[in-house]
Amino acid sequence: MIESNAIEISEKRVVVIELGVYKKDEEWYVILSAVY
């Protein structure tokens, strides 16, 4: 799942950093913190 979404995550990573945390993608933020 992470591999197939690797490209999408990479884009979200930048957005998450700039806007802080998406409530909508709050779970993604936790995953990004663990992965990166």
- For residue 35, what are its two tokens? 């992965």
**Residue 1, CA distances (Å) to 16, 18, 29 in order:** 19, 24, 15
The reply to whether 24 falls in a domain is: yes
The reply to whether 29 falls in a domain is: yes
- For position 19, what pLDDT does the model report? 57
- For residue 23, what are its two tokens? 């409530």
- For position 23, what pLDDT does the model report? 55
The reply to whether 1 falls in a domain is: no
pLDDT in tens, 1-36: 455 555 566 666 666 555 555 555 556 656 555 554
Rounded distance, CA 4 to CA 17, Å?
A: 21
Q: How many domains does the chain have?
A: 1
The reply to whether 20 falls in a domain is: yes
23, 33, 4, 25: CA torsion to nearest 10: 0
Domain extent at residue 18: 6-35
Rounded distance, CA 9 to CA 13, Å?
A: 6
- For position 31, what pLDDT does the model report? 56
